[in-house]
Structure 1
Amino acid sequence: MTETSDVRRHRAANAEITLTLDGEPLAGAEVELRQVKHRFLFGCTGFEFLDYASGTSAQPERDERTLELWEGLFNFATLPFYWGRFEPERGKPDTDRLLTAAEWLTGRGHTVKGHPLAWHTVTAPWLLDLDNAAIAEVQTDRIRRETSAFAGVIDTWDVINEVVIMPIFDKYDNGITRLCRDIGRIPMVRMVFDAAREANPNAVLLLNDFDMSAAFECLIEGVLEAGVRIDALGLQSHMHQGYWGEEKTLAILDRFSRYGLPIHFTETTIVSGEIMPPEIVDLNDHQVDSWPSTPEGEARQADEIERHYRTLVSHPSVEAITYWGMGDAGMWLNAPGGLVRADGTPKPSYDRLHRLVNEEWGLPATKTATDAEGRLRCDGFLGDYAITWRDREVGFALDAAGEQRLTLELG
């Protein structure tokens, strides 16, 4: 298990804070100090809240409980923009519903990412009626439309998903594979990134893939050599066939960090039931009627999730981890990969991650006192904090590792 000191080296700061009231040091005062939000992006899908955010949920009490559990861990939500579901009929996108959910999440203080803008799977079926030139035009129009309409609410995007396999994908015919086969991977990436950058110059744009082989490295190198600006690399880690382990994870991080780009672990799952057979090449081919969570699997999942998060957070290149599904209900491939069981009760993995994020790496509300010069110390992970004295409160940020000196006026 990665040592706590390795995590703190990149993620924590010490601050000497002088509190003032009407310009004078507030000496000998008992105050409350608490962390409001991590700078590190601890994420999860937000798909579960689309109906709840719009007030159309069929089970609002269940969704309220899910939200409570979700917000107990996460500050970063991924919303679905799969083209085939977002715009199944050309010219009728699901913009209003997704915008309502995104605004609701940002209003609760969460960062939101859209996933994905271009992908050969779950893409619009009506693309097959178009030639490749027209597919390219509607794809870039689609990207400009979404990144413009959601700018200021969603400013982080998985721009293109799984490009390594895109031109050779053969499970079924689709317009995006046709186009990528025609123009090539690097021109495809350039096309979609240019469209997103043009529409929202301030957006954080990711190149996302599940392929951790040298093929993805070659693609990244080719794209960068072509002058395409990538803001972060998205690495998927669906561990349905077993936990990667620290050695493999760190080796992957070291390989992909050499490009000098931030790394997001965009899709992470670890199952709490039977492990998928190793001979399965495409995880989608594992179709079973029942895939239950088990007590033994839940204990294993809890240990492995803690180890995985410690490993990722200890590495300076990693800026975000997104767990791919809060609960087993509705989980991809019906896998028992959630942190919450199908009945809504949290698994040991939820409790383990909650302790890690909020206690070991967080700062719960803590009573402390200023000294004779109005000073106090804060030692915590990078993020937003608040100090409360009586009915007054002031916020501040620990925004860089190391020592800080701050003077804060209580409002």
Structure 2
Amino acid sequence: MDSSFEHRRGTATVTLRRADGSLLDLADVVVEQRRHAVALGGIGFDLVALAAARAGLGTSAPGAGDGETGDVFGGSGPEAAADLVDLWLGVFDTATLPFYWAGFEPVPGRPDTARLLAAARWFRERDVAVKGHPLVWHTLAPGWLRELPDDRLEATVRARVGREAADFAGLVSTWDAVNEAVIMPVFANEQHENGITRLCRRLGRVETVRLAFEEARAADPAATLVLNDFDMSPAYDRLVEEVLDAGVQVDAIGLQSHMHQGYWGEERTLEVLERFARHGLPLHLTETTLLSGALMPPEVEDLNDHRVDSWPSTPEGEERQADEVVRHYRTLMSHPSVEAVTYWGLTDRGAWLGAPAGLVRADGSPKPAYDALRSLVRGEWWLPPTTLRTDERGRVRVSGWAGGYAVSSGGASATFDLPAGASELEVAVEVGGG
């Protein structure tokens, strides 16, 4: 564990030029950080309805209520969501949008494309990167998929993957291509078999993963494709190995960390990171939660089985959550393989399983964990607007956490990326104006 975070920091000599090519020498310039090189994200579910409404679209999925599950991903209405915008943008730079097939296309041929496109554009206009979750998953597969014969089932799944990857190319830069494949061949919910499980039993896990990755990559070669799972046991480790040995091109390994039964702690977290880092791929902590209320009993095997009438956030739980959020993010950033962290839910309002896992209370007020995380990622690990003076050769020396930066002078501005560990990297940045 590198608590100095030197592998996350960089120093660069930045040469500034005017639009006419002359050096911007002996001038005051303002340099500020815009984003981290590591994606520090949150789910954007709460803001979908707001973005859709501002684009003149409906606030629920087409066909919601007509199919079996409708608009399953929850989220806040436009008015409630408006109160969350500044809080969301104040700590996150990457948004995960919901592409759960049952809610995205509750009726065949009526996908929720327009609303999700509006949401993706809304985030991109605010310099937020966008991720889609997920393309293939047995849970929340649409009920109508069960009725298809095997040949049509496979063709329909392929078409679904390709359609979404193509429609959102240039907006959604990362996809959870397959979610929770470790249990996919054996999963069936209490009421009925689902189409994805049947497909996986016929093709096998590796070939189902290949189907999703190859169709998504063909539709959008620039996208980062993630294999994602909640199972941190050796079973997932073996699946990753099998998938890579089969020649499937995986861009990142997704690790879920829903800590409803208690914080993992530094030792376990680092053990998990080390175990999956051996595959040589970037690690994305795709779904992180820490509770600010009572913990789920340890004997519960499937988190979905724990249902309570009320699950409040408590003062003592909020203090614990704030401490654990900081410890967890510090531990993740200490490991060089970690390239993305997504916190699973800004607010307790509509939270998964009703758990008090949000950084913001249901009434919209920030918990201590929100303030603690913001102080970390936009304070301790952040370069605020800083005035520097160029030398006679138009140079300034910039040091900070790797990521995106902006520089401005006299009303003109430009951007540049500060890489990690580049102590003397020269970056020519053109600043407009004379």
What's the TM-score once normalised by structure 2's chain length? Answer: 0.90
Q: Which moved more, 1:254-263 or 1:374-383?
A: 374-383
In the comparison of the two structures, how many residue pairs are matched?
408
The match for 2:16 among 19, 27, 46 is: 19
Q: Deviations over 1:110-133 (max 9, x none)?
A: 111111111111111011112233
Deviation larger for 174-183 or 254-263: 174-183
1:179 aligns with 2:199: yes
What SS does the aligned partner of 2:417 have? strand
- Structure 2 SS opposite 1:313: helix
Counterpart of 1:101 in 2: which secondary structure?
A: helix
> In the alignment, is residue 82 of structure 1 matched against residue 135 of structure 2?
no
Structural mapping, 1:245-256, within 5 Å = 245-256=265-276
Check whether the contact 2:293–2:356 (CA below 8 A) recurs between aligned residues: yes
Note closer, same or farther for the CA distance 1:93–1:406 as it changes in structure 2 (3 Å cut): closer
Give the one of 101, 108, 126 matched to 1:108. Answer: 126
Equivalent residues in 2 for 1:231-270 (5 A)?
A: 231-270=251-290
Shift of 1:32: 1.6
Aligned to 2:431: 410
- Equivalent residue in structure 2 for 1:215, among 235, 244, 254: 235
2:280 maps to a residue whose letter is G
Are 1:135 and 2:133 an aligned pair? no
Q: SS where residue 170 of structure 2 aligns?
A: coil
Counterpart residue identity of residue 98, structure 2: P
Q: Quick check: 2:2–2:335 contact (8 Å CA) kept in 1? A: no
On the 8 A contact 2:50/2:81 being kept in 1, the answer is: yes
Residue identity in the other structure for 1:15: A
Task: For 1:184-203, list aligned pairs within 5 A.
Answer: 184-203=204-223
What code does the residue aligned with 1:338 have? Answer: G
Q: For residues 176 and 20 of structure 1, do their structure 2 counterparts lie closer, same or farther at Cα, with a shift above 3 Å needed?
A: closer
Partner residue in 1 for 2:182: 164
Residue equivalent to 2:357: 337
Aligned to 2:7: 10
Distance 1:379 1:158 in 2: 33
Identical residues among aligned pairs (%):
54
What is the aligned partner in structure 2 of residue 122 from structure 1?
Answer: 140
Distance in 2 between residues matched to 1:224 and 1:25, nearest whole Å: 49
Q: Which runs of 5+ in 2 are unaligned?
A: 60-75
In the TM superposition, residue 59 of structure 1 has moved relative to its aligned partner by 5.3
- On the 8 A contact 1:132/1:175 being kept in 2, the answer is no
Counterparts of residues 17-56 of structure 1 (less than 5 Å): 17-21=14-18, 23-55=21-53
Residue 199 of structure 2 aligns to a residue whose secondary structure is helix
Q: CA deviation at 1:84?
A: 0.6
> How far apart are the structure 2 equivalents of 1:309 and 1:52?
29
CA–CA distance in 1 between the matches of 2:377 and 2:319? 19
Indicate conservation of the 8 Å contact 2:269/2:331, yes or no. Answer: yes
CA shift for structure 1 position 61: 4.7
Contact 1:291 1:336 in 2 (8 A): yes
Once the two structures are TM-superposed, the CA of residue 170 in structure 1 deviates from its matched residue by 3.4
AA at the equivalent of 1:313: M
Shift of residue 370, structure 1, vs aligned partner: 2.8
